[in-house]
Amino acid sequence: MLKGVYERIVGMALKRRSSARELPMKLVVSDFNSTKKKKKNERMRGADDDEDEDEDEIKKTWKVFSDGDYGGLSEAKITTRDSTDGKNLVFHGLLNTNVPVIDERLRAIKSLKRSGFAGFTCQELKLTNADADDDDDDRVVTDEISLEHFTHIRIRMKSDGRAYVCSVKTKRDSFGGGEDDLWQAFLVAPKNELSEITIPFEKFIKTYRGGVVENQMGKENMRRGGIRTIGFAAAAMDGGKGSIDGEFRCEFEKIEVLRLLDTKDSTSSAVV
Q: What was the pLDDT predicted at 3?
A: 44
Give the pLDDT band of residue 112 (cuts 50, 70, 90): low
Residue 5: the pLDDT is: 38
Average pLDDT over residues 40-62: 63
271 pLDDT band, cuts 50/70/90, is: low
Report the distance separating Cα 260 and Cα 264, nearest Å.
9
How large is the average pLDDT for residues 76-92?
A: 87
Query: What's the confidence (pLDDT) of residue 8?
Result: 43
Q: Name which of 169, 191, 168 is nearest 240 in CA terms.
A: 191
Percentage of residues of the chain with pLDDT beyond 70: 62
pLDDT exceeds cutoff 60 at 43? no
% of the chain at pLDDT higher than 90 = 27
Q: Would you say residue 75 has pLDDT above 90? A: yes
> Nearest 5°: phi and psi at 266?
-120, -175
Q: 28-32, 85-89, 184-188 — which is least confidently predicted?
A: 85-89
Calculate mean pLDDT across residues 167-186: 78
Give dist(CA 128, CA 147) in Å, integer. Answer: 13
C-beta separation of 125 from 272 below 8 A: no
Of 202, 204, 226, the C-alpha closest to 151 is 202
Residue 173: the pLDDT is 65
Rounded to the nearest 10°, the torsion over CA 208, 210, 215, 219 is 80
**Average of pLDDT values for 228-233?**
93
Query: For the residues 223-248, what does the mean pLDDT come to?
Result: 80
- For position 213, what pLDDT does the model report? 79
Q: Average model confidence (pLDDT) for the chain? A: 75
Looking at mean pLDDT, say which of 6-10, 15-19, 90-94 comes out highest: 90-94
CA 28/CA 153 separation, integer angstroms: 10
- Give the pLDDT score at 148: 80
Instruction: Answer whether residue 145 shows pLDDT above 60.
Output: no
**Coarse DSSP helix, strand, coil percentages of the chain, rounded to the nearest 5 percent:** 25, 40, 40
Provide mean pLDDT across the span 191-199.
Answer: 94
pLDDT band at 185 (very low <50, low <70, confident <90, very high): very high
- The pLDDT of residue 147 is 78
Instruction: Let me know: does 33 contact 83? Beta carbons within 8 Å.
Output: yes
Residue 13 scores a pLDDT above 50: no
